[in-house]
Amino acid sequence: MTTERLQKVLAHWGVASRRHAEILIRRGQILVNGQRAQLGDKVDPMRDRIEYRGQLLNPPRPPQRLYLLLHKPKGVLCTCHDPQGRPTVLDLLPPAYRGVGGLHPVGRLDADSSGALLLTNDGAFTYYLSHPRHHIPKTYRVWVQGQPPARVLQQWREGVLLEGRVTLPAVVKLLRSEGDRSLLEIILHEGRNRQIRRVAAQLGYPVLSLHRIAIGPIHLGNLAPRAVRPLSRQELAALPKPPTPLSTPASFVKNRS
């Protein structure tokens, strides 16, 4: 008998990301053989009866895998649910996508920021792209207060001590200055919490606005704010691959937004 951690099975089946699956387990929303599951439980996907919201999850049917690009506006949270009722990225999805189980954001973009965000129901895809060791580059356009001189930009490029650990080298370009503000293009290969905002403030040039324009080879382009589109097969092929092949995307649901 082969057993795996329950949250890993749920992520593999597209129910939720591993992190969100752990939340579902803690909330008592997952049943295994009629009993509330506990965090740390291991299951045999081929034998154990696993339920979520009264629905039997196994034996799993091959799920429709979706890989979406969303233009997140400011003021929207990168989460599947907010207890305070604030708008989340899932609230922006058109009805054609809302019936697809397990959709969740890949990584985060804070509420005060806008731009490119990936969503999927493929837990393995999320885990691989979010893992720090893969260093997926992310490109931002950032307005900062003031006009940082060349020495400050070079310090940012080389790395800044943040909570006892130096940030990885970054690409930092000054695109233009307008009065008391400057527009920078920044490419990061790591994603610490609010990293750009914290580094900018530490260097003395706080962020006025932050917009992500690309995730690896996936570019936001002219996608309108709040709009969503499926990734093309070419875009999926250009992304780094997990050790096991990704599922071939099902026919994408046409974006009716």
Q: Catalytic residues, which ones? A: 110
Q: For tokens 């046409």, what's the residue?
A: 254
For the chain, count helices (H), then strands (E).
7, 17
Chain centroid to CA 48: how far?
30
- Beta pairing class for 207-215 and 218-219: antiparallel
Cα dist. 257→93, 124, 130 in Å? 8, 28, 28
User: CA dist 237 to 2, 13, 14, 188, 249, Å?
Assistant: 32, 22, 20, 22, 11
Find all residues with CB under 8 Å of 42, minimum gap 6, and list them: 3, 4, 5, 6
Residue 140 pairs with which residues in a beta bridge?
A: 186, 212
How does strand 114-120 pair with strand 207-215? Answer: parallel
